[in-house]
A and B are shown apart, each in its own frame.
Chain A
Amino acid sequence: MNTDPIFAILSRAIDVSALKQSAHAANVANADVAGYRRLEVTFERALDAAQAGQDVAIAGRQLLAGQPGAEAMGQGTPRIVASATEEVRLDQEMAQMARNSVRYQALITAFEKTMSLLRLAVRDGREG
């Protein structure tokens, strides 16, 4: 198993999740400011552009097989942009932040699990 693409895509996903946390925190802090425009992270749109015609399932299989070119699946650049809507709804923001933090911790756990698999392989299957 080639773990490089797994690490690559996991760290990218962690990046996106960290950016989302930043955006939510800024929205909560600026919730009372008149004229403030809500921040959001655009990644999905970038992902669409990166895939442009490429089937998601095929890309996923190529990725796991470690084929070159398949990294395009995770190559979109996540960005924080100000949205068109001005209104920040505090409760919505808090709910999204809670969900994102669970996701973040799940991604970190996945990262650690992959690392411990590697460690196991390096130690020739012996624990400890």
Chain B
Amino acid sequence: MGMFSVLDVSAAGMDVQQARLEVAAANLANAQTSRGPDGKAYQPLTVVVRSTQAEFSGTTGGAGSGAAPAQGVGANLLPRPTVSEVTPLDLAPRLVHDPGHPDADERGFVTYPGVDPVALMLDLMNISRGYEANLRAFDLTRSLLQRTLEIGSRR
């Protein structure tokens, strides 16, 4: 029964949101990090999410193209999101004039990552919305499955 793999798809959605949350939290936490282990300022990261939708290209198109019906097995082919990579974000660093700072360069500027806290807070809101939506979908699918299992159990 294809409905069971729907739970996996929702779980994959939650996984992706969790990865985004980790990266956003790291960016926010390191907004004031002037030097990492490599001696440079912290580089903000971003999550690249891809979908397995390519498998679906066979059944796309207009009315009734492609003879093979995807009924029943359709859920096995459901595209699920995956984190394809976590890459450094190419943002211009923030320079703060602070000559007394141990990490200041010869002109007295300290290099901080160019993290935009407002954009990050917005990201966080979107992430939590996405996570909740996936959780809700998971719950609904589960309760529908449960309801189906109850067929005939009552008089």
Binding site for B on A (CB under 8 A): 14-15, 18-19, 21-26, 28-37, 39, 42, 45-46, 49, 77-82, 90, 93-94, 97-98, 101, 104-105, 108, 111-112, 115-116, 119, 128
Q: Is B6 an interface residue (CB 8 A)?
A: yes
Query: Which applies to chain B's interface (DSSP): helix, strand, loop or mixed?
Result: helix
Nearest chain B CB to A122 CB, angstrom units? 13
Tell me the bound Cα distance from A77 to B71 in angstroms: 7
Tell me the bound Cα distance from A25 to B7 in angstroms: 8
Q: Please tell me which one of the listed residues A35, A42, A108 contacts residue B148 in the complex, with CB atoms under 8 A apart.
A: A108
Interface residues contributed by chain B, number (CB under 8 Å) = 50
Tell me the bound Cα distance from A111 to B147 in angstroms: 12
Are B12 and A25 touching (Cβ within 8 A)? no
Are A33 and B49 touching (Cβ within 8 A)? yes
Are A18 and B137 touching (Cβ within 8 A)? no
Are B51 and A108 touching (Cβ within 8 A)? no
Q: Is B129 an interface residue (CB 8 A)?
A: yes
